[in-house]
Structure 1
């Protein structure tokens, strides 16, 4: 019984040191930076224009 108690004590002491960690600085999330500026091309208008040009070319053949 004494050996079992000694073994349990040794395992308990090593387990607590194995789990213990050092100081870890908290991670601070930064706010995303949004670049504001005029876009030179707008994909919302570009795709329909290309579709219309494709239909016009196909209908001329």
Structure 2
């Protein structure tokens, strides 16, 4: 009797977990945010570091 009740409870839980509708799913378009920084700012920091390392090597 306990197994029958357990099986009925699991069957009921499984049927509600897989229930769905026939409506088309709503898919929202992704939002793209473009940064307004210039491309030279990405190169500026490595160039400064390179200059500092070159100055340190030249002074030693």
- Same fold flag (TM > 0.5): no
Larger radius of gyration: 1
- TM bin, normalised by shorter chain, reads 0.3 to 0.5
Q: TM-score, normalised by structure 1?
A: 0.41
Q: TM-score, normalised by structure 2?
A: 0.41
